[in-house]
Amino acid sequence: MSLMKGMQSIEFETAPYLVSSASVVGSKEAEGPLAKQFDVTNPDDLFGEKTWEAAESTMQKEACTLALGKGHLKPEEMRFLFGGDLLRQGIATSMGVETFQIPLFGLFGACSTSGEALALSAMSVAAGYAQYVLAVTSSHFGSAEKEFRFPLGYANQRPLSAQWTVTGSGAFVVGTRKSHVRITGITVGKIVDYGLKDSQNMGACMAPAARDTILRNLEDFGREPKDYDRIITGDLGYVGHRILLDLLKGKGVDLEKQHLDCGMLIFDQKTQDTHAGGSGCGCAAVTLSSYILPKLMKGEWHRVLFVPTGALMSTVSFNEGDSVPGIAHGIVLEHC
Amino acid sequence: MSLMKGMQSIEFETAPYLVSSASVVGSKEAEGPLAKQFDVTNPDDLFGEKTWEAAESTMQKEACTLALGKGHLKPEEMRFLFGGDLLRQGIATSMGVETFQIPLFGLFGACSTSGEALALSAMSVAAGYAQYVLAVTSSHFGSAEKEFRFPLGYANQRPLSAQWTVTGSGAFVVGTRKSHVRITGITVGKIVDYGLKDSQNMGACMAPAARDTILRNLEDFGREPKDYDRIITGDLGYVGHRILLDLLKGKGVDLEKQHLDCGMLIFDQKTQDTHAGGSGCGCAAVTLSSYILPKLMKGEWHRVLFVPTGALMSTVSFNEGDSVPGIAHGIVLEHC
C-alpha cells in the first residue's frame, strides 16, 4: 500500500500520537479569550531576559521543558527536534533548544512552521526513524516588530489590516506511545503567490495558500468539509478568513460551518486593539496546544484539519519590491 | 530491524539513490580549482538580475532545472522539495523555487543546510513517502556580505580567519531510481557550542560540531576512519580543518589521511585571496555535485562521509553578544 495519497498528501499506516504538548505565552495573550487554557502566562514579556530575542528563546525552552514533563519524558529520549521561528537565521530556536542537546532539524516556513514541524515529526515517527520527537515553534511581538517593522520604541502606527504577532511558544511531543490524538495524515503545501505586496496585510497574502492546501487535502483524501469537525487555519485573521471563505466559495466549497482561525481565537478584537487578529509562528502552535488538542483529546471533536499558514517574506525582499507569497501545511488530527 | 542506529543515526534498509545533481556558480568559483567540473559558471555574479538576492534565487532555479534535466525528470515528478539558504527568512529559496510548484519544506541549518536537506530527502524516499524529491541550497558572496557583514560597496577589510562565501547553488534529485551512488545512512547533528564569539572565524566555531558528528557517526555505525575513503566537511576552511584534526587527535582519532574540506577544495588559497577558504550553504553543495559525486559514481571512492557544517548566528545574535554555536550533519554516500 502506498503511503502517498493523491498529489501532495501522506496517509500514515501507523499513525503517530501527539503524546503531550505545552504552551507558554506573554502578557497580551494572558488577557485574551484563551488565557486560562495556556500552561504558562508571563506578565513580563522579557521573560527575565535582556532582549526580545533571548525572551523568545526562553519561551521555547520553557515550552519544550513543559511538554517533556507532561509526557514524563526526558530530552535524551527525543530522537530529533524539529524547530523554527520567524527571526533571521532562526536564532530564537538555535539559542532556545541548544540546552536539550537533541539532534536538530532547523526549519523555516514563516508562520506555517508549526505545520511543517508536525508534518516532519509525524513522518519520522511513522517511518520508524524515532520513538519520540519534539516539535517547537515560537514568535514574539517585540522581536518580530523589530525584525520586520520597527523597534517598539518607535511607536509606529499600524494599519487595520495588520495583525498582532503572538508572544508565545508551543511544543509538542510526537511519538509511538498512545494518547487520544493521532496525526493520521498530512498535506504538504506549495508556494502560492497572488502577487500581493502589502506586508501589513498578511491575511490576504496567505489566504490563497490556505485555499490551495485545504482543497488539495479534501481531494487527496476524498473528503468533504463535513468530514472534519473543524478546519482551523493558523493566522489568517479577520481579513484572511473572509478572503479564504470567498475563494473557496468560488470553487463550490462552503467552509462557513467548519472554519476557525487561531489568529481570531487568541485575541478579543473588540477590547485588545489587535486589529486583524493574531499572527506569528507561536499563534497556531499555542492555540493548538491550549484550545484544539484538549477538545480532540476529550473527543468533543473527532477529526480536525489544522492548517498553519505562512507569509514568505523578509524586510529585504519587501524593500526590494518582491511580492509576499504564502504557504500552508495541513495536518489531519484525529481523536482515538 | 530498527532503522535507528546508535544515538543519532539512521541506517536505511532500502537506501535511496542520488539520481542526479547540478552545480551553478559565479565568477570567483570559475577561477578556482574546480572550475571545469561545475555545470554552469557565470562571469556575471548578478546572473542577469538587479539584486544579489534575486541572483541567488536565479542560481537555485538554474541548479534545480539542470538537476531535473540531467535526471530526465519534471518538477511535477518531485514529491517534495527540501531547500534553504543563509538569508533572513530563507528568501533566496522561497523566491527561487516558487516556479516549480513542488510541495516545500523550508530549512535552516546555516551552512549545514545541504546535509539537512539530503538527510530529510533520504528519509522521505526510504520511508516510501516519495519516489523522487529535490534538495537544493545556495549562498552568494554579495547577499551574504550584505546580510552578515557590510554591503560590498563599503569595501571593508576582512581578517585572515574569515572565509569567502561561495556564490553557488547545488541541487540534488534523491529517489528510488538506480544510479551509482546511494545514501546509506545519516547522522543528525546536535548544536555544539564552545562559547566562541568571533563571527569572522567560523571555522573555529564549527569545528567542534564537525568533531561531534564525525565521532558519533563512527560510533553509531561501528566504523573507523579507514572505513571511509574520505570524510569531507562542508566549510571549515584552513583554520577549522586544523582545529578539527587536533580535536579528533585528542580523542585518539586520526583523520589526516581521510579528511577533505569543501572550503579548501573550492578556492586556491594562494592566488584567490580567499583567506581561510570558502564557506556558505552553496560551498558544500556545489563541491558535492561537481567533485565528490563524480568520484563516487565512477567508483574511485567507495564510501564517503559528507559532513556539511553550519555556524548558527545572525547579525542580531552577534550584536547582542551571543556565542556562535555550530551544527553538522553526516551523510553516508556509497558507490554501488
Q: pLDDT for B69-125, tens place per residue?
A: 999 999 999 999 999 999 999 999 999 999 999 999 999 999 999 999 999 999 999
Give the model's pLDDT for residue B18. 98
- The string of pLDDT tens digits covering residues A126-150 is 999 999 999 999 999 999 999 999 8
- Across the interface, of B106, B128, B147, the residue whose CB is closest to A107 is B106
Query: Are A1 and A209 contacting, i.e. CB atoms less than 8 angstroms apart?
Result: no
Give the model's pLDDT for residue A305. 98
pTM, two decimals, is 0.98
CB contact under 8 A, A127 and B127: yes
CA distance B37 to chain A (A): 31
Kindly list the residues from chain B whose CB atom is less than 8 angstroms away from the CB atom of residue A188. Answer: 80, 103-105
- Across the interface, of B89, B190, B315, the residue whose CB is closest to A102 is B190
Please give the distance of CA B12 from its chain centroid, rounded to a whole number.
21
- Work out how many CB contacts closer than 8 A connect A with B: 172
String of DSSP letters for B221-272 = TT--GGGSSEEEESS-HHHHHHHHHHHHHHTT---TTTEEEHHHHSS-HHHH
Look at residue A302 and tell me whether its pLDDT is greater than 80.
yes
pLDDT level of residue A2 (50, 70, 90 thresholds): low
Give the model's pLDDT for residue A332. 98
Give the model's pLDDT for residue B2. 65
Look at residue A109 and tell me whether its pLDDT is greater than 60.
yes
- The string of pLDDT tens digits covering residues B26-64 is 999 999 999 999 999 999 999 999 999 999 999 999 999
pLDDT level of residue A187 (50, 70, 90 thresholds): very high
Grid cell in block for residue A153: 520604541
Give the model's pLDDT for residue B156. 87
CB contact under 8 A, B314 and A8: no
Complex ipTM tops 0.95: yes
Kindly list the residues from chain A whose CB atom is less than 8 angstroms away from the CB atom of residue B327. Answer: 104, 106
SS3 content of chain B, % helix, strand, coil (to 5): 40, 25, 35
Q: Which of B234, B308, B282, B270 is nearest to B47 (CA)?
A: B282
Region of residue B137 (phi > 0: left; psi between -120 and 50: alpha; otherwise: beta): beta
- Across the interface, of A10, A108, A129, the residue whose CB is closest to B4 is A129
Give the model's pLDDT for residue A156. 87
CB contact under 8 A, A110 and B89: yes
Counting residues of chain B whose pLDDT is more than 70, the rounded percentage is: 99
- The string of pLDDT tens digits covering residues B154-202 is 988 889 999 999 999 999 999 999 999 999 999 999 999 999 999 999 9
Nearest CA in chain A to B312: A94
Nearest CA in chain B to A85: B89
